[in-house]
Structure 1
């Protein structure tokens, strides 16, 4: 019987020495950390903080897609010399292309987040909210935005961004 107990103790010791998987955060803790990422996104955009903005993403080559409403596409086409010219309904890019474009603009650029909904199991999350994109005091576009997020060793990271966009039909006032 002693050899069986010794073998069992040895096995338990070996199992205890193996790296243990990290336990998922509880949803309330995850929500707080994800809400902090949402705030950091808005702050980095407003401050044109490229490095701070890029640290929020899992990688630079994540899905980054906007889809424009039919009304926005029709208004854009109406302004073309050849309204039959194909106009994409979607736009793409990368987080880096976005923040670099925003940083080059002299006027303030901000994004508001309302009705933020977070669904998470502590390892991955879906974040959905209503947004407005502002250029100074002018509401340039609005719609819904969706983020897929994952919890990494370095905290919560945005793994995909998809949004709808209704472009403001009223022209931006002259400065």
Structure 2
């Protein structure tokens, strides 16, 4: 019995002296910090802030995949000179390519975030929400977006982004 008590005492001594950041964050605190990342993501798009946007990610080469609805694929295919040409249902990319395309665009771009759900244990998180990508006042596309996030020594970072996309069947109004 004495070895068990000695081991327990040693464990208590080690964990009692462990720094606070060695343990998971309180999930409520994590949710607040993740919500701040979501706001920063939207602000970086609206401001066309490439550096601020890229700071939100774990790495530059994260999973970045969109999956288009069958209706969107059919509308795109119908617009081709050869409608039998294959049209991919999924498309890859990167956060950098995305924000650079936003920054190059002459029109204002914004993304809305609705019905946000965050599931976290204080170390990793799954974030799921409904989004709309706006080009000026025009709702360009919408769907569901999912982020995988991790808490690093530099705060919460996005490790993967996957989203569905329904392209607006109504053409953008001409100016």
Root mean square deviation of aligned Cα:
2.1
Residues 107-154 of structure 1: CA deviation (Å, up to 9, x unaligned): 001000000000000000000000000000000000000000000000
Residues 7-28 of structure 1: CA deviation (Å, up to 9, x unaligned): xx99998898887871100110
How many Å separate the matches in 2 of 1:28 and 1:19?
Answer: 20
Aligned 1:22-33 pairs, distance under 5 A: 22-33=22-33
TM-score w.r.t. the length of structure 2 is: 0.90
- Measured after TM superposition, the shift of residue 89 of structure 1 is 0.4
How many Å separate the matches in 2 of 1:81 and 1:96?
Answer: 31
Runs of 4+ in 1 over 4 A off after TM superposition: 9-21
Residue 52 of structure 1 is matched in structure 2 by 52
Residue 145 of structure 2 is matched in structure 1 by 145
Distance 1:106 1:19, change over 3 A: same
In our comparison, the structure showing a higher alpha carbon Rg is 1
Stretches of structure 1 that go unaligned for 5 or more consecutive residues are 1-8
Stretches of structure 2 that go unaligned for 5 or more consecutive residues are 1-8
SS at match of 2:173: coil
Distance 1:103 1:17, change over 3 A: same
Residues 74-99 of structure 1: CA deviation (Å, up to 9, x unaligned): 00000000001111101111000000
Residue 82 of structure 2 is matched in structure 1 by 82
Residue 95 of structure 1 is matched in structure 2 by 95
Residue 135 of structure 1 is matched in structure 2 by 135
Distance 1:15 1:116, change over 3 A: closer
Aligned length in residues: 167
Aligned 1:35-46 pairs, distance under 5 A: 35-46=35-46
Residue 61 of structure 1 is matched in structure 2 by 61
